[in-house]
Amino acid sequence: MKKIINDPADVVTESLRGLAAAHPDLLRVQYEPDVVVRADAPVAGKVAVVSGGGSGHEPLHGGFVGPGMLHAAVPGAVFTSPTPDAVQAAVTATTGEAGALLIVKNYTGDVLNFETAGELAAAEGLDVRSVVIDDDVAVADSTFTAGRRGVGGTVLLEKITGAAAERGDSLDAVEALARKVIGQVRSIGVALTAPTVPHVGEPSFTLGEDEIEFGIGIHGEPGRERIPLEPADALVERMINAVVEDLPFTTGDRVLLFTNSMGGTPLVELYLAHGIAENLLADRGITVARRLVGPYITSLEMQGISITLLKVDDELTELWDAPVNTAALRWRI
């Protein structure tokens, strides 16, 4: 294992110290328990949008803390859910009379721990709601979940709900919007190599030189099938078919297309795949109204990509376009 680390047990804390040093205008970090909070939190009169999960998926979630997106992010250990007390600390640090929305990826530990934290916050008199995102079409159940996994759609959900909270929407409205997004977003991923968790010290799984894992999870969970490596045209078509046929997306739909690197795939390959996806969607009569390309929800250094489609209307497009100022996502500031 070759990584730029010190003690594997200290990776997350030391990374958070670096994040805080790099972006003091946007965020602050509280330790023991670890929480990343907007620099100006709590924001009076605004719904707090809080998310989190295991580390190793950066910039998700801490890189999305700031005006127009998250009010707080709760990082657990690598690929490990944050504890309820950490989630509760994030809620307490950001939430006022307007209440809070918790965005939870559908992994068993996340769902249980965020639910417990929500109950603890409610006991403090705070109005806290939760939504669970489960956009992965690859498998019905997986190693870490009952039901589908929460993956790339999380980034889009955090941006859109964060924009709604920023403009002053009520908690009821932000929650309803979140459920709308969850109902209209689908994703699938593929892996060429496995990630190596620092405290484990070896790859999570083994692939042959001519093999890929189709439908991989963001923790290296198995996908639909292990298939021979194929040219980009065929691979991206396989991914687009899986996503489009699940909702299904149809001729005349307008979508946001998110082409994501799992951490180790360079932009030259990522843009190549994105171009193929755009052409395939055009062939189906599906209009790509908005785009996002880059490593925004990763799996450490895994080589691979994921593709996410969100069906959009004028409201979702307006919220996507709204100003955002975070470490990893920023425009119109």
Cross-strand bridge partners of residue 187: 136, 308
Task: Answer for the pair 206, 191: CB distance below 8 angstroms, yes or no.
Answer: no
The residues, ordered by sequence, that sit 6+ positions from 204 with a Cβ below 8 Å of its Cβ are 194, 195, 196, 197, 219, 220
* Residue 222 burial class via C-beta count within 10 angstroms: exposed 0-12, middle 13-18, buried 19 and up: middle
Taking alpha carbons only, the member of 156, 183, 133 closest to residue 321 is: 156
The one catalytic residue in 57, 61, 71, 274 is 57
Report residue 303 as tokens. Answer: 């080589």
How many angstroms separate the CA atoms of 145 and 111, rounded?
9
Residue ranges in the chain assigned as alpha helix (H): 11-22, 84-94, 108-123, 153-166, 171-183, 232-244, 267-283, 314-321
Distances 259 to 137, 168, 193, 206 between C-alpha atoms, Å = 15, 30, 18, 25
The one catalytic residue in 23, 61, 71, 219 is 219
How many angstroms separate the CA atoms of 79 and 208, rounded?
24
Cross-strand bridge partners of residue 288: 255
Cross-strand bridge partners of residue 191: 213, 304
199 is catalytic: no
How many angstroms separate the CA atoms of 312 and 315, rounded?
8
Residue type, 243: V
How many angstroms separate the CA atoms of 279 and 288, rounded?
10
Report residue 205 as tokens. Answer: 């799984």
What are the residue numbers of the active site?
Answer: 57, 219
